[in-house]
Structure 1
Amino acid sequence: MSPLDAFWHIANLFAPAWGLAALLAVAIKAVWRREAKPLGWRRLWLWGAAGGTAATLMALVLLGRDGRMAGYALLVLGVALPQWAQLSFRR
């Protein structure tokens, strides 16, 4: 496997987490406009992407491979919990 192939392999592993984090950040800013006004798009996305990345890695360790439904459920929780916490516990 070439370095470019390895890069794309890793990028595609984390693409669902990063994409879901971006979609949820857009949904938060659209649905909860007033509550989410002090939160930036980038901050929401970064926290969601970090949680999704951690959830993907945890699913790999716990389940042994990518693509299981339990792994995707963990991914949704990993993306949603940090964004929910920012919206609920903002200063």
Structure 2
Amino acid sequence: MGPLSFLNHLLNFLAPAFAVAVGLVACSHVFMRKRARPHGWLAPMALHFAVGAAVLAGGLAVWGRDGRMLTYAALVLACASSQWLWLRAWKG
């Protein structure tokens, strides 16, 4: 596999984590304006992307292939949990 092919595979592997991170932060700025505004956009997106990439890598390690629906469900759950912790939503 050449370097461009490897880069293409890597970007396609990480695309769901990026999409969930961007969507989650954008929705938090729409629906939870007061809590999300002080945190900005870049830091929470980087955090959620890292969490999502770790979940996708874990799913690849466990099942030996990517694209399993259980891995995507774990991706959404893990990113939503990190968003909940990031915004300290338990405080009401």
Q: What is the TM-score with the length of structure 1 in the denominator?
A: 0.91
Supply the AA of the counterpart residue of 1:52: G
Structure 1 residue 66 corresponds to structure 2 residue 63? no
Q: Note the 1:38-57 alignment, pairs <5 A.
A: 38-57=38-57
The whole-number CA distance in structure 1 between the counterparts of 2:70 and 2:82 is: 19
Q: What is the TM-score with the length of structure 2 in the denominator?
A: 0.90
Cα RMSD (Å): 1.2
Which 5+ residue runs of structure 1 have no aligned equivalent? none
The runs of 4+ residues in structure 1 deviating greater than 2 Å are none
1:53-79 deviation per Cα after TM superposition (whole angstroms, max 9, x unaligned): 000011111122111111111111222
Residue correspondences, number: 89
Question: Residue 34 of structure 1 corresponds to which residue in structure 2?
Answer: 34
Question: Residue 11 of structure 1 corresponds to which residue in structure 2?
Answer: 11
Identity %: 38
Q: SS of the residue aligned with 2:65?
A: coil
Moved more, 76-85 or 31-40: 76-85
1:37-63 deviation per Cα after TM superposition (whole angstroms, max 9, x unaligned): 211111110111011000001111112
Question: Residue 83 of structure 1 corresponds to which residue in structure 2?
Answer: 83
The whole-number CA distance in structure 1 between the counterparts of 2:26 and 2:62 is: 30
Deviation at 1:10, TM superposition (A): 0.5
